[in-house]
Amino acid sequence: MTRRAVVSGGGTGIGRAVTERLAGDGDSVVIVGRRDAVLKATAEEINSAVGAERVTTATADLTDPREVRELVEHIAASGGIDVLVNNAGGNPARASNDLTALAEAYTEAFRLNVITAVLLTEALIPHLIRPGGRIVSVSSIAALRGNGPYGAAKAALHGWAMGLAQQLAPEGVTVNIVAPGFVPATEFWSERLTPQLQAERIAQIPLGRAGTPREVAAGIAHLASPEAGWTTGQILQINGGTLLGRG
Ligand X SMILES: NC(=O)c1ccc[n+]([C@@H]2O[C@H](COP(=O)([O-])OP(=O)(O)OC[C@H]3O[C@@H](n4cnc5c(N)ncnc54)[C@H](OP(=O)(O)O)[C@@H]3O)[C@@H](O)[C@H]2O)c1
Which long-range contacts does 65-69 make (Cβ < 8 Å, 24+ apart)? 65/119, 68/119, 68/120, 68/123, 69/123
Count of residues of this chain found to bind ligand X when the rule CB under 6 A is applied: 30
| 45 vs 171 by CB, closer to ligand X | 45
Q: Interface with ligand X includes 183 (CB under 6 A)?
A: yes
Q: Interface with ligand X includes 116 (CB under 6 A)?
A: yes
- Are the beta carbons of 125 and 117 closer than 8 angstroms? no
Q: Interface with ligand X includes 110 (CB under 6 A)?
A: no
List strand residue ranges (DSSP E) for the chain, in order: 4-8, 28-33, 55-59, 83-86, 134-138, 174-180, 235-238
Choose the catalytic residue: 110, 144, 150, 156: 150
Among 3, 13, 72, 127, binds ligand X (CB under 6 A): 13
Q: In terms of Cα–Cα distance, which of 87, 173, 61 is closest to 127?
A: 173
Q: Which of residues 139-158 bind ligand X (CB under 6 A)?
A: 140
CB of 34 to ligand X, least distance (A): 3
CB of 113 to ligand X, least distance (A): 6
Q: Which of residues 72-101 bind ligand X (CB under 6 A)?
A: 87-90
Query: What does the alpha-carbon distance between residue 5 and residue 20 come to, in Å, rounded to a whole number?
Result: 12
Q: Interface with ligand X includes 138 (CB under 6 A)?
A: yes
Among 3, 5, 7, 8, binds ligand X (CB under 6 A): 8
Q: Interface with ligand X includes 186 (CB under 6 A)?
A: yes
The answer to whether 150 is a known catalytic residue is yes
- Are the beta carbons of 83 and 134 closer than 8 angstroms? yes
Q: Interface with ligand X includes 63 (CB under 6 A)?
A: yes
CA distances (Å), 46 to each of 29, 63, 204, in order?
11, 27, 34
CB of 30 to ligand X, least distance (A): 12
DSSP structure string for 134-180: EEEEE--THHHH-BHHHHHHHHHHHHHHHHHHHHHGGGT-EEEEEEE
Residues annotated as part of the active site: 150
**Binding interface with ligand X (CB under 6 A):** 8-9, 11-15, 32-35, 38, 61-63, 87-90, 112, 116, 138, 140, 180, 182-183, 186-189
